[in-house]
Amino acid sequence: MKWIFYLLVFLPWSCFPQNTGNTWRRAVENSRQQAGQGSPELYTVNNALATGANEADDTFGLSPASGAGLASAITPTPQDGSFVLVITETSAPDRMEETVNLTDGVTYIIGYWAWSDTANGGRSQLWTGFTSSPNQFYTTTPTYYEHILTASGTTQLMRWYVQISGSEVYVDGLSIKEQ
């Protein structure tokens, strides 16, 4: 037992395996893949809400409710790509809705950037077709929100609300991946 102590104390650190940057990078990559980061993107609608190659200067497929207005814009600064979705309203609370078709019983990671021009001026809530729903208020700072939700049925409805009259809500970079 004494010889193990001497080996550990007197041998140089170079004799022991080191965690190199590549080892840590591989660990992070494996962790992301396990959390759905390696899964294919499921939100592939060509509009301002989409990510990557699917992003377009358009509001195609997005539904404003009652007095809400939708626009694709380049200001405020988009957080993902070249365009950001702007939700306006005439009488709060109004909302934008997006319907997707997912697989019943499968768990998904749903992420997006969201913020408002006023504190607590917007929120995500009352999503249907999932076993639970987010209830997330937005700040005035662009923030990436991520929800892990299980599909209940095959039609899911996501809603982003404008909470304060005269406010605008900005949503960008919607990503849906299997966990």
**CATH classification at residue 148:** 2.60.120.260
Residue 10 covered by a domain: no
Residue 11 covered by a domain: no
Phi-psi region of 129 (alpha: psi -120 to 50; beta: other; left: phi over 0): left
Q: Which two tokens stand for residue 149?
A: 């939700």
Q: CA 32 to CA 18: how far, in whole Å? A: 23
Average confidence (pLDDT) over 27-35 = 45
Average confidence (pLDDT) over 5-18 = 44
Residue 38 covered by a domain: no
Residue 44 covered by a domain: no
Instruction: Give tens-digit pLDDT for 111-170.
Output: 999 999 999 999 999 999 999 999 999 999 999 999 999 999 999 999 999 988 888 999
Rounded to the nearest 5 percent, the helix, strand and coil shares of the chain are 15, 35, 50
Residue 39 covered by a domain: no
Q: CB-hemisphere CA count at 13 Å for 26?
A: 5
Task: Determine phi and psi for 146, rounding to 5 degrees.
Answer: -135, 130
Domain count, the chain: 1
Taking the model in full, what pTM does it have? 0.77
Q: CA 65 to CA 158: how far, in whole Å? A: 12
Residue 47 covered by a domain: no
pLDDT at 126: 95
Residue 109 covered by a domain: yes
Q: Which domain holds residue 148?
A: 52-178
Q: Work out the number of other CB atoms within 10 angstroms of the CB of residue 80.
A: 20
Q: Which two tokens stand for residue 40?
A: 């294919």
Q: Work out the number of other CB atoms within 10 angstroms of the CB of residue 156.
A: 20
Of 174, 165, 144, the residue nearest 54 (C-alpha): 174
Residue 27 covered by a domain: no
Identify the bridge partners of residue 111 per DSSP, sorted by sequence position: 146, 175
Tell whether the model's pLDDT for residue 16 goes beyond 70. Answer: no
